[in-house]
Structures are given as structure tokens and as C-alpha cells.
Amino acid sequence: LRAELEATQKALAAAEESLFIANWSAFRNAKLVGRGGFAEVFSADWREQQVALKVPRIGLNKHEVLKIERDLRLEMKRLQSLDHINVVRCLGLVKGGTAGIALAMSYCGGGSVHELLYSEQPPAMPERLRWIAGLAHALAYIHGQGVLHMDVKPENLLLNDTREVKLADFGLSKVTSTF
């Protein structure tokens, strides 16, 4: 029985380790690009690509850190189960850094819809309509996958370098089997 328990614990530890794609030290040129209530987002270079790193804010007690780690793992699993042109792509978890854990995602260098809507030269209506259509496609897809985003707002609509909209921040999302 003890050998079975040890084997199960080793298997669980190996499965846990497979969630991590790299250590923080593998990322270069990290720059702060955004802040939210829960985390800061950095852009960084990794394996010849630019990525976004969602890093939980530090200064929390141990209970809060464990909850954040659990929440990041859930967000990663939800994002990795989704594959759509209008949903930000999740690469996996990162070990280390100031918070001990981070979530690596595809980088959207075009900023957020919120930033552009409130800029000195807001986008023209045709571009706004394209973003709305992209959001509608993303929502139809994730709802078809049984995922409810729960936090759709302009700040969570990111734009890639070609200004294609990407639904991001699945931290509050829920999974449901029926609608």
C-alpha cells in the first residue's frame, strides 16, 4: 500500500511538473506592459518569440498565494483547451519570478480595445465593427466549448500586431456543461 501511495505521489508530481514550460530565467527582456487588479503583465522574449507573462501581484499571505496558484492553473487549463483565432493562446505556466509562478500567453502587441477607444484618435467604425464580430466569434466558440468568460470588457480585448481582436483574461471564467 505504501509503495502504491508513493507511486501515485510521484505520478502526480510529474503531472504537476509537466504544466510548467520553463523557469523565469528562460525569458529575456521582460518589460511591464499592463496592470490589473490581480496581476501585472510583462512582455518578454522566449524561444525566438515575444510572449506575455501574467504575474500575480506579490505581498500576499501564504493562503492567498496558494489560491492564486490554483486559479492560474485553472485559467491555464481552460485556455489550453481553447483553440480559436479570436482567443489569446496559452503557452503554459512559468516557474519562478517574484510571485513564484506566472502564466505565459501569446503576446498581443496592439494594446487593448480600451486603450484605443479612449485614445486621441479612436478607430473608425468599420474597425470597431470588425472587433465586435471577432468578439462574437470568440464568445460563440467558447460557449460552444462550455466556457463562460464572466469578465468581457474592453480591457480584456487585446489586439495583435495586425489589430485582430483576441479575448483574454479567463481568470474569472466558469465551465458549464449546459446552457
Model pLDDT for residues 19-35, shown as the tens digit of each residue: 788 999 999 999 999 88
Cβ–Cβ < 8 Å for 116, 122:
yes
Distance, in Å, from the CA atom of 30 to the CA atom of 46, rounded to the nearest integer, reads: 10
What pLDDT digit, counting tens, does each position of 104-132 carry?
999 999 999 999 999 999 999 999 999 99
pLDDT of residue 36: 81
Cell numbers 503576446 label which residue? 107
Task: Pick the catalytic residue from 45, 71, 83, 151.
Answer: 151
Residue 45 bears catalytic tag: no
Question: What pLDDT is stored for residue 7 in this prediction?
Answer: 66
DSSP code, position 2: H
pLDDT at residue number 63: 73
pTM to 2 decimal places: 0.84
